[in-house]
Amino acid sequence: DAGVTQSPTHLIKTRGQQVTLRCSPKSGHDTVSWYQQALGQGPQFIFQYYEEEERQRGNFPDRFSGHQFPNYSSELNVNALLLGDSALYLCASSFGDELNEKLFFGSGTQLSVL
Amino acid sequence: DQQVKQNSPSLSVQEGRISILNCDYTNSMFDYFLWYKKYPAEGPTFLISISSIKDKNEDGRFTVFLNKSAKHLSLHIVPSQPGDSAVYFCAASYMEYGNKLVFGAGTILRVKS
């Protein structure tokens, strides 16, 4: 049973570019959350998708957008990249409103913005 | 606004001894707390949790204590093993947040053999 898978594992972009990160949830899960982990910090909640709609959003600008597909996989898009967007982007999946310990994380995508 | 704080960036402990990791929070609405462990190149994995209606939860070598009046929780690992060496994150949530978590900055634990 594959867990949460993310692609790519590493990515290098330049300022002003756009990037798309992908996530496949754990089998049986229908909810996907995205987190940004800057160097030396804990993960910070970006947004959560359920039934192909954004259900919750953290304190991130509109440059950060997402999408959830009918198969529950998800994409995170970041436009007009800034140097400060360099971070590890983590995807987490769960089933509906299950308790938090049922939240499973992927290994992340390391984004470097030059 | 750091709602969850882990003030010790790192901790070094001898194998077999107790490891104590601390976490403080400021938002009194938090009612659910979790600890995650993270190895390099892997995502965080759930370790143990505690609801605000309890003051202690135990799972094998891991025990979490919650002091609501002090807005403080701690994770005890006894006995510590070299395989416990990882980054430990404290996280908090409350019902209206659903399963959105607020994380601390993490503590690097090194268990020396």
Amino acid A78: pLDDT? 98
Is the Cβ–Cβ distance between B94 and B31 less than 8 Å? yes
pLDDT in tens, A36-51: 999 999 999 999 999 9
Residue in chain B lying closest to A43 (CA): B103
pLDDT in tens, A68-105: 999 999 999 999 999 999 999 999 998 876 656 678 99
3-state secondary structure at position A4: coil
Contacts of A56 in chain B (CB under 8 A): 97-98, 100
Contacts of B99 in chain A (CB under 8 A): 31, 33, 48, 94, 97-100, 102-103
Place of tokens 């976490």: B23
pLDDT of chain B along its 113 residues, tens only? Answer: 689 999 999 999 999 999 999 999 999 999 999 999 999 989 999 999 999 999 999 999 999 999 999 999 999 999 999 999 999 999 999 877 666 899 999 999 999 99
Amino acid at A3: G
Chain A, window 21-60: residues with a beta carbon less than 8 angstroms from a chain B beta carbon:
31, 33, 35, 40-45, 48, 55-56, 58
Amino acid A86: pLDDT? 98
Question: Which two tokens mark B38?
Answer: 């993270």
Distance from CA of B46 to the nearest CA of A (A): 6
Check CB contact under 8 Å for A42 and B104. Answer: yes
Chain B interface mutation, best of A89, A100, A105, highest count of B Cβ atoms under 10 Å: A100
- What residues contact B5, with CB distance under 8 A and at least 6 apart? B23, B24, B25, B26, B104, B105
A108 contact B CB<8A = yes
